[in-house]
Structure 1
């Protein structure tokens, strides 16, 4: 969860789902033997173009969260190799400005547009099968945002 100085959260519209009106927070995989905090900063830079010197990690939910794909998506996403994900969530404070964001920083880009939203809006913006995770993340970081 990336928050700015106003306590708003970064969400991006996935480039591979332009027709849907679903927005998500940056997320990504962890390379073998990669430290989780290092993975957070790397993935954030890849998906948003935000340099790690503009970000401070200020929180972590230690208990991993899991979700399963709906049956109609199993076998269609992630090369058919996975039925869901396990995620460890971090809270990061963004000390930059919008001109520091570059959605084309990585090839291929993850997001086609972004916006800043109030934390309580997050569960209404994400695809339905991730709502429970987003509610838990919002509650877990509420006091730090």
Structure 2
């Protein structure tokens, strides 16, 4: 179901998504560390849950630190809508699939203002094993298929900023 108005938002875990671009308009992408080497669709943009006591923007800033070890970014845009995806049957992603039908995400576009050396995946609870700057096509070809429609919506929402 792609129409958010027809979804019961309580069934979807509230999350944020982060598109981070560098000065060349390349997009940050990272390889999940919970998937085996060589497994397809292991790359994604950072994302994470929104805690009960925080706004989506606060969650975005916290997730930057938790996932990529830096907050050297400037906010360019926040998507106006929530983007939804369903967990596929059989997925047991950190137990969330047992409690929710999927995730609803508020996406943020940030420009990276630091240097590559400022990105540090060796955080307290590492979620990624590698990272790189890529193109829209790189990301679309490597994201897990059940998130693909959200990524397409995010790229459409941020198109005027990507050049």
TM-score surpassing 0.5? yes
How far does residue 122 in structure 1 lie from its aligned partner after superposition? Answer: 2.0
Deviations 1:6-30 (A, max 9, x none): 1011111001013323200001111
Deviations 1:88-112 (A, max 9, x none): 001000011110010012x220100
**Map 1:12-91 → 2, pairs under 5 A:** 12-19=30-37, 20-21=39-40, 22-50=42-70, 52=71, 54-73=72-91, 76-79=92-95, 80-91=98-109
Moved over 4 A (4+): none
1:118 to 2:118 alignment: no
How far does residue 120 in structure 1 lie from its aligned partner after superposition? Answer: 3.4
Secondary structure, aligned partner of 1:63: coil
| Separation in 1, partners of 2:121, 2:34 | 14
Unaligned stretches of 5+ residues in structure 2 = 1-18
Aligned residues: 140
1:131 to 2:156 alignment: no
How far does residue 121 in structure 1 lie from its aligned partner after superposition? Answer: 2.8
CA contact (8 A) 1:123 1:132 kept: no
Unaligned stretches of 5+ residues in structure 1 = none
Secondary structure, aligned partner of 2:67: helix
Secondary structure, aligned partner of 2:34: helix
| Separation in 1, partners of 2:56, 2:93 | 23
Given candidates 6, 10, 16, the residue that maps to 2:28 is 10
| TM-score, length basis structure 2 | 0.81
